Amino acid sequence: MTAFYFVAFLSIFFALMTIFTKNPVHSVLYLVITFFTFTVHYIMLNAQFLAVVNFIVYMGAIMVLFLFVLMLLNLNKDTEPMKSNLVKIMGAVAGMCLLATFLGAFRVIELDNGFVTGNSDVGLVKNLGKVLFDEFLLPFELSSILLLTAMVGAILLAKKETKEA
C-alpha cells in the first residue's frame, strides 16, 4: 500500500508539473514521466500487457509525436500567450463538469463485481486475449472499426489540404 501511495503521489506531482511548467517541451517531458508512473501502477496491479502497451504506445509513440510537433512549431518564447478570460472561464466550467461526471460515475460503481475482485491474473497476455476475443469480441471489434474510421478520416483531411494548396 505504501508503494501505491508513493507512486500515486509521483503521478499527481508530475501531472501538476505538466500543467504548471511554462516551457512546452518540459511539459511534454513531465507528461512522459506521468505516463511512466501509470505503467508502474499497471505493473503493481499485475496487468503486464496493459503496462507494456501503455509504455510502447503512449511513451514510445504518442509522446514522441507530441515532441515532434512541438519541435516543428519551434516555440521559442518560453511563455505561451495569455488566453482571454472567456476561454479561462469556459475551461474551468468544462473541467468542473468532467469532475462532477467522474464523481457521479465512481459513486455508483460496484467494486465487488467479478472483474474487479475476481481473477487477478486477467491482465496477463494469455488471459486478456481470451477475454477480449471471446467474451468482449463485439466491443473489441467495434472499437477497432472506430479507430480505422478515425484513421481514414485523418488521411482524408490531410489529403484535401494538399489538393487545395
Partner 1 sequence: MEVAFILEKLILVVIIFTVTLVIAMYSTLAERKVAGFMQDRYGPDRAGIFGLLQPLCDGGKFFFKEEIIPAGAHKPLFILGPVIAIITACISSAVIPWGQELVINGKAVSLQVADVNIGVLYIFGVIALGVYGIMLGGWASNNKFSLMGAIRAASQSISYEIGMGLSLIALLMVTGTLSVGEIVAQQSGFVNWNIWVQPLGFLVFITCAFAECNRVPFDLPECETELVGGYHTEYSSMKLGLYMFSEYINMFVSSALMASLYFGGYNFPFMYDLGLSQNWITVIGVLVFFLKIFGFIFFFMWIRWTLPRFRYDQLMNLGWKILIPLAIANIVLTGVVTLVKDTYF
By C-alpha distance, which of 125, 130, 121 is closest to 45? 121
Q: Closer to partner 1 by CB, 2 or 74: give it.
A: 74
Is 123:45 a contact under the CB 8 Å cutoff?
Answer: yes
What cell numbers appear for 19 in the block? Answer: 500543467
Is residue 158 part of the contact set for partner 1 (CB under 8 A)?
Answer: no
Task: Check residue 47 and give left, alpha or beta (phi > 0: left; psi -120 to 50: alpha).
Answer: beta
Q: Closer to partner 1 by CB, 61 or 97: give it.
A: 61
Is 80:22 a contact under the CB 8 Å cutoff?
Answer: yes
What cell numbers appear for 80 in the block? Answer: 505561451
What cell numbers appear for 143 in the block? Answer: 472499437
d(CA 38, CA 49): 13
**Mask: binding to partner 1, 7-46, rule CB under 8 A, as x and -?**
------------------x---x--x--------------
Which listed residue (8, 99, 125, 154) binds partner 1 by CB under 8 A? 125
Window 62 to 91, contacts with partner 1 (CB under 8 A) = 64-65, 67-68, 71-72, 74
Which listed residue (10, 17, 53, 122) binds partner 1 by CB under 8 A? 53
Is residue 55 part of the contact set for partner 1 (CB under 8 A)?
Answer: yes
Is residue 127 part of the contact set for partner 1 (CB under 8 A)?
Answer: no
Q: Which stretch binds partner 1 (CB under 8 A): 12-20, 48-56, 104-112, 156-164?
A: 48-56
